[in-house]
Amino acid sequence: MLMQTHKARISALREELKQQKLDGFVVPISDEHMSEYVGAYAQRLEWLTGFGGSAGSAIILTHKAAMFVDGRYTIQVRDQVDGTLYDYESTLETNHAKWLVANVEAGARIGYDAWLHTKSWAESLAAALAKKGAELVAVEHNPIDAVWSDQPAPSPAPAFVHDDEHAGQSSAEKRAQVADWLKAEEVDSAVISALDSIAWMLNIRGADVDRTPVALSYLVAHADGTAELFIAPEKVTPEVEQHLGNAVTITNRDQFSARLSGMKGKTVAVDPDFGVAAIFQTLSDGGATPVALRDPAILPKAIKNPVERQGHRHAQARDGAAIAKFLHWLSYEPSKGGQTELSAAAKLRAFRDETGVLKDQSFDTISASGPNGALCHYRVDEDSNLDIEPGSVFLCDSGGQYLDGTTDITRTVWIAGPGEKSEPSAEVRDRYTRVLKGHIQIARAIFPQGTNGSQLDAFARQYLWEAGVDYAHGTGHGVGSFLAVHEGPQRIAKSSGGQAGTGQELFAGMILSNEPGYYKAGAFGIRIENLVLVEKRDIQGAEGTYLGFENLTWAPMARDMLDITLLTAEEKQWWNDYHATTYDILAPQLEGEVLAWLKDACLPI
């Protein structure tokens, strides 16, 4: 029935394309802010195709269609998207331009929504199509919206103030910092369209995007320290209005485009990664001069101030106690049978709720049993839900949103069973230990100022490479402070493919994840993830500034999955030191059976 629904939807879209005199249309996972996670109203790709991943796109032509995903979703896309309706394409092997040039005729008109794509993407695709004699057309109205009869409305949730006691810096100070940047760059204003940048600059938060506390809005910041916020009026409470003060004018969000058209003669900075093509075009059409410059909030937002750093430590310690309760539960309950991926995710949420201060999850929990663990970014639902079988590997990647910090942790555990199922196989132990060894290498890394994430990535992969295996995702991403769990510009990943952030220099104060993994299709997945804080390292006789990582995440790892013979003396010492600190931080928050379990779980090897 579901696939029939998707067949009907693609048919309806093709009829709408005929009405708009288009031969094809590009469908991204995106909103007007180029957000990674989008509100329900913007989930056009999932509605059309059934694909539930966080990264992907589709192209619909009159005679064929294709789904484009990266290596994280190779398996998932085949489970969720009907292969009789769509070809499966890997973004590592092809792209929109190559596929379209191979599949359209001269004279074809391919539509796109200029509010959902970047300027560089549009220019590159237009140039490629022009060589084929085809044309890229910015649609006036998104054709999916025209056929999505029950499309949700944008969230009406009110914005709220994020107090300085958690932010560590006032909005006025942040706007002044941006104003100094504008003067240095010799531009009049900056269009800030990334939702987390707006939240950071104004010290406000919202509930318009699942798992990310942001409010749908735009901001235009000026060189005199003032700013214009474009937001639906029902979202602005008296508290928010008072907090923003006279230096921030508030205008209805639907007037944003008109404001851009009215900036004639102004030089306006727009981030090429978050400012969509329509923003550049509207500014140019109105007589302004848009300049492609990185969002001035991006880097200062990533470099956490002392209050944010301490807040993260508190949030991680609190979250670690909830994780310890969950790991204790996993140590006995699933082995009895009757537990599922969904019941485990619900149990973990309940433990976090017990803190009394959880605001939300930081993303949908990846609760993955056995073969589902091999799907790097698996999302459990009623259709995919598996029993947690005794004698299997269970992977859980989860996080919480707290006022003082955002958490993200992955633990992989062995669900013991009777007889021969009571112990992990030699293969599982080998892969788990190699993932751990890579994790330790990142945790212990020391590197000179100026190092970027791509230069560290191989530290995590080297032991897997020795066994002829690898993983198809990055090793680390930035994390926000009660903001996006995936926050740029920094990341630890291979530099191939021009991925954003791999060339970003790491600075003290940045938070990243440390999460190498291994995935065997149809069998199991392994990932070990902690968050780390970049910090300066004092090294006697050092020639220059050197950095390392302070560990932030504290929760036991699976000792029963180790092949201890693969560990060096230094790695064993790291394990013992990590677990001794874990016990010291978590024990005061626990009692009874959980505390006794924690003591055993943290014993040295």
pLDDT at residue 420 greater than cutoff 80: no
Distance in angstroms (rounded) separating the CA atoms of residues 206 and 595? 36
Q: How far is CA 219 from CA 312, 575, 588, in A?
A: 27, 46, 44
Per-residue pLDDT, averaged over 257-282, amounts to 97
Q: State the fold for domain 2-147.
A: Creatine Amidinohydrolase; Chain A, domain 1 (3.40.350)
What radius of gyration do the chain's Cα atoms show?
A: 25
Domain boundaries, the chain: 2-147, 160-296, 303-601
Angle subtended at Cα 296 by Cα 269 and Cα 260, rounded to the nearest 5 degrees = 30
- Range scoring the smallest mean pLDDT among 77-81, 134-138, 175-179: 77-81
Amino acid at position 158, single letter = P
**CATH node for 160-296:** 3.40.350.10
pLDDT digits (tens, 9 = 90+) for 55-114: 899 999 999 999 999 887 888 899 899 999 999 999 989 999 999 999 999 999 999 999
CATH number for domain 303-601, candidates 3.30.930.10, 2.10.25.10, 3.90.230.10, 3.40.50.80: 3.90.230.10
Q: What is the distance between the alpha carbons of residues 385 and 344, in angstroms, rounded to a whole number?
A: 11
Q: C-alpha distances in angstroms, 79 versus 30, 53, 76, 386, 591?
A: 22, 11, 5, 14, 43
Closest residue by Cα to residue 399 from 211, 207, 195, 549: 211
The whole-model pTM stands at: 0.94
8 A C-beta contact, residue 362 and residue 513: no
303-601 and 2-147 share a CATH fold: no
Tens of pLDDT, residues 214-265: 999 999 999 999 999 999 999 999 999 999 999 999 999 999 999 999 999 9
Closest CA to 231 of 211, 205, 212, 210: 205
Q: Is 115 helix (H, G, I), strand (E, B) or coil?
A: coil
Q: What is the dihedral of CA 105, 108, 114, 117, to 10 degrees?
A: -10
Does an H or E element contain 571, and which?
A: helix 569-586
- Is the pLDDT at 4 greater than 70? The verdict is no
The candidate with the shortest Cα–Cα distance to 509, out of 297, 295, 309, is: 309
CA distances from 334 to 156, 328, 339, 368 (A): 40, 11, 5, 13
Amino acid type, 257: S
Q: Whole-angstrom Cα distance, residue 187 to residue 180? A: 10
How many Cβ atoms are within 10 Å of 310's Cβ, its own excluded?
14
Name the residue type at position 410.
T
> What is the overall mean pLDDT for the chain?
96
Q: How confident is the model at residue 1 (pLDDT cuts 50, 70, 90)?
A: very low
Q: How confident is the model at residue 376 (pLDDT cuts 50, 70, 90)?
A: confident
pLDDT at 500: 56
Residues 41 and 268: their CA atoms lie apart, in Å, by 29
d(CA 376, CA 372): 9
Shortest CA distance to 27 belongs to which of 109, 98, 87, 113? 113
Cβ 214 vs Cβ 208: under 8 Å: yes
Express each pLDDT in 145-162 by its tens digit: 999 999 999 999 999 999
Distance CA 566, CA 433 (A): 7
